[in-house]
Amino acid sequence: MSKQPRDETVGFIGLGMMGQPMATNIMKKGHRLVAYDVASGALDKIASLGAKAATGPADVARQANVVISMVDTTAQAEEVIVGKGGVIDGAQAGDVIVSMSTIDPVMLRAMHATLAAKGIGLIDAPVSGMVKGAIAGTLKASVGGDANALEKARPVLEAMSSEIVHFGPIGQGTVMKLINNLLSQVTGVVVAEALVLGTKAGLDPTQMVQSILKSTGNSVAFEYAAPRILERNFEGIRMDIVDKDLELQVQLAKSLKVPLFMTNLAHQVYQMARSEGLGSEDYAASIVKVYERITGVTVKGH
């Protein structure tokens, strides 16, 4: 790709399961893209679609005035955005950084202050809609931060999302995302319990799932997990990532003195699964293995 002006270029850091299709959609909407990922294969893939490959986060920021960060953890976000060789080392006053990861709201506020001292904007815009939404460009972005910074980043967010909701100051978008994830992730444990109980009682798993999909027990979490369990498809959203989310949910609740009985119980079930080596498998489907081991049944479609 030839040299391109910064004000016409979007930067993207973190080309994982969600990031790769999100970055692709930015280009499909006509934006120039410069990207970086520590995995060379992911970087090569987006470059083959027309993006310019950068050498690191600072290099991305030197070439783009709106930069997306879509990494996994709070520590990674801190390193990529304000660490040595991070976005902060290449960005200019007036630029906007968009953190789209589900990370610690407290760290987001600290990074916001650090960047603001240099005239650089930061908003948080974590998304829901999973991989299918990332591919279709129908993600829902929950935004926190300055309204003017949001407006500068809005055309980029619209390239990836079908809905953008501004929830208030920096960090509030991530708080909203944590609440949404709490509902989905806790329900995932209940889905596994229900299907194992029904199977142990002699119900046909396939018939049971088909019935629930048309009944009051249905939910988005059930629609995601149940077919995967029947198919024994354990690839998807890694349980280690969900464990990170649950840690953040519990941490937020402690800071506000809010009890989370069900969330803490669900967290322990996920910990059991991770202790059995299931951390890299899909959280909603693989959690069933914990209950299957205890009960001696297998929930499998016929």
Q: How far apart are CA 11 and CA 99, in angstroms?
A: 12
Tokens describing residue 189: 């444990």
* Contact assessment for residue 289 and residue 300, using Cβ atoms and an 8 Å cutoff: no
Q: How far apart are CA 48 and CA 169, in angstroms?
A: 37
Q: How far apart are CA 247 and CA 74, in angstroms?
A: 11
CA 10 distance to own-chain centroid: 20
φ, ψ (nearest 5 deg) of residue 56: 175, 175
* Contact assessment for residue 171 and residue 124, using Cβ atoms and an 8 Å cutoff: yes
Query: What long-range pairs does 268-273 form, CB within 8 A, spacing at least 24?
Result: 269/189, 270/185, 270/189, 270/239, 270/242, 270/243, 270/246, 271/243, 273/239
Dihedral in degrees, nearest 10, Cα atoms 176, 179, 184, 189: 160
DSSP state of 282: B
* Contact assessment for residue 11 and residue 66, using Cβ atoms and an 8 Å cutoff: yes
| Residues assigned a catalytic role | 177
Residue with tokens 């800071």: 255
Tell me how far CA of residue 88 lies from CA of 60, 107, 146, in angstroms. 10, 15, 18
